Amino acid sequence: MRKSRYTEEQIIGFLKQAESGIPIKELGRKHGFSDASFYKWRAKFGGMNVDEACRLRELEGENGKLKRLLADAMLDIDALKLVLGSK
């Protein structure tokens, strides 16, 4: 997945500016992002603080590690079933 060029702090700052009344098109022109990016960020980070966004990133990373561990375990189980044969 491609890394965003904006940090969570910046994204939340953009969202706060939009809530204060600055038009989204003007924000996008000023900071260099599209309307679609803004709406995607609002869906993901809307109503969050910076601390909550950082915690979300940590949890997503941990979740990815756990998924990889589970996939490796499932591959090992399948390999053992092939080697030992099914009953």
Tens of pLDDT along 52-66? 988 988 999 999 999
Q: Please give the Cα distance from 41 to 87 (Å, whole number).
A: 51
Alpha-carbon distances, residue 4 vs 11, 27, 86, 87 (angstroms): 10, 17, 47, 50
State the pLDDT at residue 11: 92
What residues have CB less than 8 Å from 51, skipping those under 6 apart? none
Tens of pLDDT along 8-64? 889 999 999 999 999 999 999 999 999 999 999 999 888 888 889 889 889 999 999
State the pLDDT at residue 38: 94
Overall average pLDDT of the 55-78 stretch: 95
State the pLDDT at residue 86: 63
Task: Supply 21's token pair.
Answer: 């009344």
Q: Residue 73: is its pLDDT beyond 70? A: yes
Q: What Rg, from alpha-carbon coordinates, does the chain have?
A: 21
